[in-house]
């Protein structure tokens, strides 16, 4: 099946917004064993939209179009579809009532331009929208608009990511899965998520396993700062596909070892919370260069209050002394970016908070160069308590300032996860 995507909007071609819908949709297709053949991005020009729709309908089997279903004059999707395929726009009464009810529930006034969002091309399949006001619809196009046998199915969806993802997940993906399984092909997808391993090392560990799993496809993704292995197994039945997926997932997890923190949909922060909760531990953070990012990541996970006592953001040396009891002479001898300071920060947070375990972060994120002993990108992370000795990890990350801070926050979470699970700390 040839699947393409058309993303519309001046905000996409002018650089105001990034097209995240294409990235998400491409990932969602993996679980079905399908992939995007091409993505086209255009601005809000009617002639460009009409040309793109005709071109895509001629060569693709499925096209997902995002954007242009809003209430303003530059939302041109319905008009473009009608011109491209010789159709007429109509107002769908059920969708108009849905939009009115939504505005009433929100306590807002429905303006005439919002009623434009109930328009669809005559003869289209109306999909509605449980996530917003724009009306999604689908259209099947055949001759004389095709240059290849069969028809093209076009889905016209809102550009708002939460709305597009909801409709695709509820309607499009299940329909595609049923179509594939009707052809006697069953697929099962898994993801193994890691932190602290380069993509090349991950690949070296996984590729030798594939010979024993001939019905499995494999790929990697590196959504910073994680690294993910993607697995897709095929079988003649759903049970066979699942068994094959189970087998390769077990082998991949065993080969990668301690860097694995979870599967599809799981986060390092969530895995850390689960590990701490399993041990019944509470945690306190002491953060310098990350400015609270590590504790905020943990706090973002529902249930964080079970384990998170608090965090001290101590940028200034004076606060490291007053809040964490870091000795002044230690700072004078070793500096704030040092192994000694990281250890003192973690132990001070542990003692002051009464937590079961504490973790600290200090370093040079940039853009300043740091010094000869501690160049830009140097990070010290220390962990104290949790039934083990105070330990410190030094790493250097060759990224920009914000990415150094992000990966340092993940490093702190990983130290907590590993200690709670009794795993070796990264070297």
Closest CA to 176 of 160, 166, 187, 162: 187
Sheet holding 378-385, edge to edge: 308-313, 283-287, 357-363, 378-385, 388-396
Place of tokens 């010789």: 86
Query: Do the beta carbons of residue 29 and residue 3 sit within 8 Å?
Result: yes
**Rounded distance, CA 296 to CA 410, Å?**
11
Architecture of domain 268-421: Alpha-Beta Complex (3.90)
Query: Do the beta carbons of residue 21 and residue 136 sit within 8 Å?
Result: no
Q: What is the pLDDT of residue 341?
A: 98
- Rounded alpha-carbon distances, angstroms, from residue 28 to 36, 53, 360, 407: 10, 23, 37, 26
Beta bridge partners of 357: 283, 385
Q: What is the pLDDT of residue 291?
A: 96
Task: Parse the chain into domains and list their residue ranges.
Answer: 3-182, 186-263, 268-421
- Rounded alpha-carbon distances, angstroms, from residue 241 to 34, 185, 232: 16, 9, 9
SS3 content of the chain, % helix, strand, coil (to 5): 45, 25, 30
Give 122's DSSP letter: T
Backbone phi, psi, residue 122, to 5°: -60, 130
Helix (H/G/I), strand (E/B), else coil: 30 = helix
- Rounded alpha-carbon distances, angstroms, from residue 186 to 61, 183, 243: 20, 9, 12
**Rounded distance, CA 85 to CA 75, Å?**
18
Helix (H/G/I), strand (E/B), else coil: 286 = strand
**Rounded distance, CA 358 to CA 295, Å?**
11
Residue 182: enclosing H or E segment and its boundaries? helix 173-182
Sheet holding 136-141, edge to edge: 36-42, 3-8, 62-66, 152-157, 136-141, 125-128
**Rounded distance, CA 230 to CA 215, Å?**
14
Q: What is the pLDDT of residue 368?
A: 82
Long-range pairs for 114-117: beta carbons < 8 A, 24 or more residues apart: 114/71, 115/91, 116/71, 116/75, 117/69, 117/70, 117/71
Closest CA to 112 of 99, 121, 123: 99
Q: Cα dihedral angle (91, 97, 101, 107), rounded to 10 degrees?
A: 50
Architecture of domain 186-263: 2-Layer Sandwich (3.30)
Q: What is the pLDDT of residue 123?
A: 95
Q: What is the pLDDT of residue 369?
A: 74
Beta strands in 326-369 (DSSP E): 357-363
Query: Do the beta carbons of residue 77 and residue 70 sit within 8 Å?
Result: no
Q: What is the pLDDT of residue 393?
A: 97
Superfamily, domain 3-182: MoaB/Mog-like domain (3.40.980.10)
Using only C-alpha atoms, the chain has a radius of gyration, in whole angstroms, of: 27
Per-10-residue mean pLDDT for the chain, 427 residues long?
96 93 93 92 97 97 96 94 97 95 91 93 96 96 89 97 97 94 91 96 96 95 94 94 97 98 96 98 97 98 97 96 97 96 98 97 88 90 96 96 97 98 92
């Amino acid at each position: 099946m040839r699947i393409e995507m058309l993303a519309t909007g001046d905000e996409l071609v002018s650089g105001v917004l990034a097209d995240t819908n294409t990235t998400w949709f491409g990932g969602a297709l993996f679980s079905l064993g399908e992939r995007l053949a091409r993505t086209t991005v255009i601005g809000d020009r009617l002639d460009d939209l009409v040309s793109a729709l005709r071109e895509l309908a001629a060569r693709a089997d499925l096209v997902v179009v995002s954007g242009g279903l809003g209430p303003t004059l530059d939302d041109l999707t319905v008009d473009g579809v009608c011109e491209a395929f010789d159709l007429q726009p109509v107002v769908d009464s059920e969708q108009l009532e849905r939009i009115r009810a939504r505005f009433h529930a929100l306590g807002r006034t429905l303006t005439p331009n919002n009623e434009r969002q109930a328009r669809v091309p005559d003869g289209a399949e109306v999909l509605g929208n449980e996530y917003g006001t724009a009306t999604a619809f689908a259209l099947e196009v055949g001759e004389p608009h095709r240059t290849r046998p069969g028809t093209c199915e076009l889905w016209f969806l809102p550009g708002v990511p939460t709305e597009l993802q909801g409709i695709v997940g509820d309607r499009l993906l299940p329909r595609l899965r049923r179509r594939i399984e009707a052809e006697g092909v069953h697929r099962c997808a898994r993801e193994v998520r890691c932190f602290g391993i380069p993509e090349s090392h991950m690949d070296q560990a996984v590729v030798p396993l594939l010979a024993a799993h001939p019905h499995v496809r494999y790929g990697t993704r590196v959504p910073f700062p994680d690294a993910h292995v993607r697995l897709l197994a095929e079988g003649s039945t759903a049970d066979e596909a699942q068994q094959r997926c189970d087998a390769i997932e077990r082998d991949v997890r065993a080969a990668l070892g301690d860097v694995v923190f979870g599967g599809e949909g799981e986060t390092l922060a969530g895995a850390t919370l689960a590990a701490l909760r399993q041990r019944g531990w509470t945690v306190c953070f002491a953060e310098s260069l990350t400015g609270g990012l590590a504790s905020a990541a943990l706090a973002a996970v529902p249930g964080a209050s079970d384990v998170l006592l608090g965090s001290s953001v101590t940028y200034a040396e004076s606060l490291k002394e007053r809040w964490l009891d870091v000795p002044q002479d230690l700072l004078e001898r070793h500096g704030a970016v040092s192994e000694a300071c990281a250890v003192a920060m973690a132990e001070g947070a542990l003692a002051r908070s009464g937590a079961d375990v504490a973790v600290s972060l200090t370093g040079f994120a940039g853009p300043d160069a740091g010094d000869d002993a501690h160049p830009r990108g140097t990070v010290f992370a220390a962990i104290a308590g949790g039934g083990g000795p105070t330990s410190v990890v030094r790493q250097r990350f060759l990224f920009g300032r914000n990415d150094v801070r992000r990966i340092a926050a993940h490093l702190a979470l990983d130290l907590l996860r590993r200690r709670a699970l009794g795993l070796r700390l990264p070297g």
